Amino acid sequence: MATATNPDQRHDDRQASADRFVATLHRYIDDGPVDLQQPADDLIAALTGAAPDSAIAAALTAGAAIIDRYWSVLRRGSADVAMARTLTNPQFEPLTDALIAALHPFARQDALDAAEDEVRDLQRQVAQANADLEAAVAAGDVEHVMALRATAQVTLPGRLGEARLRVLQLKVDASKPQLSAAAEHYAKQAAAVRDAEQLRDAAAAQLRDAAAALDLAQRAAAAARAAEGRAKATTVRLSEALREQTAAHEHDQQTRIRKLAGLAPTAA
Amino acid sequence: MPTDELTKARRRIADIGLADAVFTAVAAHRTPPHLTDDDAPTVWNDVSARFTAVEAGRYCSSADVGLIDLHARLTGLLTRVRASPSTAPMTDLVDRYRRIRDAQKALVFTATRGVAGSVEIRQAGVNIIAARLLQVTGAMSNIDEVWPEWHQHFSHASGAQPPWEHTSAEPFTVSATAANLRLLATGPARPWVPTLDQMKAAYVEQTAAEADRRRVANETRVYGSATQRRDAR
């Protein structure tokens, strides 16, 4: 597979790999087992380096869960293939979410990881400061208590609160690209629905036209058949008349000749 | 280098493909594709779902193909256990043993059409539910020799616990632990993964052995031991 150098092109390639993976899973559910390995490997190749391995793994795992669900529904024996498809369809939602996350990783994930580490570190420091404070109180060391109070009850909790805010802010920032990606995905799917509707409407119009043409042709054929019948009847009638006329003519002619010959009108 | 997480996820997709290929081959009476010891339990587990699901279970009776394959895997695994030093960690082997038994259970219940499926044992003139047949004969062919009190656990009578590590809810299940693997590999048990017919034959054998022992015990209680009877004569 050729590697695109343009960032937009690379994103399109990744998206195309994801679409192929999803389409293959749909085909598996709709038409029976097909090869999933190649689309999965293409997806891994397209996303490696652009998304964390954990995000790629989450997408593959969500894909495998669809197949597992499909067979597990069928295995119970209470559902036919159509029902299994219906019951499996909701499993595509986690796959969509996983692919959106893998296709639009947060650019400042390192900063988010560091901020979360800082929160954990400060939580430990606060716990330690409180333990030290308790120990000083137990020891009756008023001077030490007074020295620790500010740190245990103001400084460290304040820093912890700020660190938590930073984490939340980064999480909000992280959610934005995924929100726009989800919106973009929705817009794309909605456009696909509109296209399919147009196709359906065009096909319906074609069907209506074809039905009208069929009706017209059937009526014309019926009329032609009736005309054929009438013509046939006329031919039969005229042929019968000709036969009768011929017989009468021959009889009359014989009578006239016999009369001329002085014979009786009919032979003895 | 992909992370373990990604490698595992990719392998799951590969196992699905292998399960489809194995099912197709078995259904067409062709040789299935080669499976590794690592793949085999997961793949057979997946194949059992296809046996049950496709064409209203038409291929359920093919479960024996998987059971025979798993038996060979178990034999190989226990050979490795015997070759391992007694202190060696056996995490991988224990995990594989657990997966072999999970796959075996899936295949047996496929062959019997469910956990509560009724299995006819003509030689004994009885019907037995699949779950019980698996309990008695699934892990080893000679349960009566290894755990003579096994029958009492069906009659709610208290009896000696099995010699293997187990949970109180499932005394018949040989838990997947290193100690149990060593017990199976080196003890008197004859561990196996039997086909359905082998399970039926073993059930008849083990039940007869148990009945014989009970008869001898009763006679001893009433008439004394054979030695005592001889001495009395």
What mean pLDDT do residues A181-209 have? 90
DSSP string, A73-113: HHHTSS--HHHHHHHHGGGHHHHHHHHHHHHS--TTHHHHH
| CB atoms A36 and B13 under 8 Å | yes
Interface test with B, best of A21, A75, A81, A99 (most B CBs within 10 A): A75
Worst-scoring range by mean pLDDT, A72-81, A215-224, B38-47? A72-81
Q: How confident is the model at residue B221, as a pLDDT?
A: 77
| CB atoms B53 and A75 under 8 Å | yes
Q: Pick A60's closest partner by Cβ from B9, B46, B53.
A: B9
- How sure is the predictor about A6, in pLDDT bands with cuts at 50, 70 and 90? confident
Q: Pick A35's closest partner by Cβ from B17, B54, B57.
A: B17
Worst-scoring range by mean pLDDT, A82-86, A128-132, A158-162, A175-179? A175-179
Q: Please give the Cα distance from B101 to B90 (Å, whole number).
A: 16
Q: Pick B50's closest partner by Cβ from A48, A64, A71.
A: A71
Q: How confident is the model at residue B114, as a pLDDT?
A: 79
Q: How confident is the model at residue A94, as a pLDDT?
A: 95
Q: Is residue B191 pLDDT above 90, yes or no?
A: yes
A63 contacts on B by Cβ (under 8 Å):
13
| CB atoms B5 and A67 under 8 Å | no
What phi and psi values does residue B70 have, to the nearest 5 degrees? -65, -35
Q: Is residue A162 pLDDT above 80, yes or no?
A: yes
Q: What is the pLDDT of residues B31-90, one digit of tens each?
A: 999 999 999 999 999 999 999 888 888 898 899 999 999 999 999 999 999 999 888 889
- How sure is the predictor about A248, in pLDDT bands with cuts at 50, 70 and 90? very high
What phi and psi values does residue A51 have, to the nearest 5 degrees? -135, 150
Q: Is residue A8 pLDDT above 90, yes or no?
A: no
> Which pair of structure tokens corresponds to residue B166?
């187990």
DSSP string, A190-226: HHHHHHHHHHHHHHHHHHHHHHHHHHHHHHHHHHHHH
Closest-approach residue (CA) in chain B for A60: B9
Q: How confident is the model at residue B144, as a pLDDT?
A: 94
What mean pLDDT do residues A80-86 have? 87
Q: How confident is the model at residue A227, as a pLDDT?
A: 95
Q: How confident is the model at residue B222, as a pLDDT?
A: 77
A35 contacts on B by Cβ (under 8 Å):
17
Most confidently modeled of A233-237, B121-125, B157-161? A233-237
| CB atoms B13 and A53 under 8 Å | no
Q: How confident is the model at residue A105, as a pLDDT?
A: 83
What mean pLDDT do residues A176-199 have? 86
- How sure is the predictor about A4, in pLDDT bands with cuts at 50, 70 and 90? low
Q: Please give the Cα distance from A228 to A224 (Å, whole number).
A: 6
Q: How confident is the model at residue A113, as a pLDDT?
A: 87
What mean pLDDT do residues A14-22 have? 95
B20 contacts on A by Cβ (under 8 Å):
33
Q: Is residue B106 pLDDT above 80, yes or no?
A: yes
Q: Please give the Cα distance from B35 to A169 (Å, whole number).
A: 49
What average pLDDT is seen over chain B? 91
A77 contacts on B by Cβ (under 8 Å):
52-53, 56-57
**Strand, coil or helix: B127:** strand
- How sure is the predictor about A183, in pLDDT bands with cuts at 50, 70 and 90? confident
B26 contacts on A by Cβ (under 8 Å):
none
| CB atoms B57 and A77 under 8 Å | yes
What average pLDDT is seen over chain A? 91
| CB atoms B53 and A74 under 8 Å | yes
Q: Hey, what amino acid is at B100?
A: I
Could you give the dihedral angle defined by the CA atoms of residues B94, B99, B104 and B106, in that order, rounded to the nearest 10 degrees? Answer: 150
Q: How confident is the model at residue B229, as a pLDDT?
A: 65
What mean pLDDT do residues A221-228 have? 95
Top pLDDT among B122 and B221 is at B122
Q: What is the pLDDT of residues B141-186, one digit of tens each?
A: 999 999 998 988 887 766 789 999 999 889 999 999 999 999 999 9
Q: How confident is the model at residue B128, as a pLDDT?
A: 92
> Which chain B residues have any C-beta within 8 angstroms of a chain A C-beta?
2-3, 5-6, 8-10, 12-14, 16-17, 20, 24, 46, 49-50, 52-54, 56-57
Q: What is the pLDDT of residues A104-147, one digit of tens each?
A: 888 888 898 899 999 999 999 999 999 999 999 999 999 999 99
Closest-approach residue (CA) in chain B for A35: B17
**Burial category of A112 from C-beta neighbours within 10 Å (exposed 0-12, middle 13-18, buried 19 and up):** middle
- How sure is the predictor about A215, in pLDDT bands with cuts at 50, 70 and 90? very high
